[in-house]
A and B are shown apart, each in its own frame.
Chain A
Amino acid sequence: DQQVKQNSPSLSVQEGRISILNCDYTNSMFDYFLWYKKYPAEGPTFLISISSIKDKNEDGRFTVFLNKSAKHLSLHIVPSQPGDSAVYFCAARFTGTASKLTFGTGTRLQVTL
């Protein structure tokens, strides 16, 4: 039972354009969502998060949008840079289970010149 889904295994975007990575979840009890970025041979690195009481959180070039009614969140990267090329994981958790993250399967983003 995949509670967090990333339906696009890969995405290719030109440098300078917007990258939009999508994530869907099925468990309405999730109340905190995170995005992690992973380079080869490295562990996942925290990127940005959002609480279920918000619908948007912005940090520099990265913005996460949450649509609770649709159980959908998205990560926008503007402008995209070649260094953003990595695998992006969406993750979710319940209140009080800070360490027990449920991850999606990841989306490989390639930013081309």
Chain B
Amino acid sequence: DAGVTQSPTHLIKTRGQQVTLRCSPKSGHDTVSWYQQALGQGPQFIFQYYEEEERQRGNFPDRFSGHQFPNYSSELNVNALLLGDSALYLCASNTGGFTTDTQYFGPGTRLTVL
């Protein structure tokens, strides 16, 4: 049973560029959430996708956008990259959108912006 998978593992970009990160949820899960974990901090909620729509959003600018596909996989897009966007980006999945089901996290994508 595959858990949450993310690609790529590491990524290096320069300021102003755009980046796309990918996530496949755990088998049987239909809800995907994205988190940003800066160095020395806890993960911060970016947004959640359920039924191919953004359902909840944290305090992140519009430069951060996403998409969910019919197979429940998801992408996180960040435009006009800033140095401060350097972080570990975590994807988490669960079932049923707003249920109390436990979230399972992927290993993350380490983004470095130079």
A residues engaging B (CB < 8 A)?
4, 6, 32, 34, 36, 41-46, 49, 89, 91, 96-106
Contact = CB atoms under 8 A, between A and B. Distances in A.
B107 A43 contact: yes
Contact of B90 (A34, A44, A98): A44
Contact of B45 (A43, A45, A100): A100
Given A43-B106, A44-B105, A46-B103, A97 B56 contact: yes
B43 A98 contact: no
Contact of A98 (B42, B58, B97, B108): B97
B101 interface: yes
Contacts of B98: 96-99
Interface string B2-24: 00100000000000000000000
Given A44-B43, A99-B48, A99-B55, 14 more contacts: A4-B42, A43-B105, A43-B106, A44-B105, A49-B102, A96-B98, A98-B97, A98-B100, A99-B31, A99-B98, A101-B103, A103-B43, A103-B44, A105-B40
Interface residues of B, number: 30
The dominant DSSP class at the B interface is: loop
The dominant DSSP class at the A interface is: loop
Given A32-B100, A46-B103, A99 B42 contact: no
B8 to A, nearest CB: 14
A97 B44 CA distance: 14
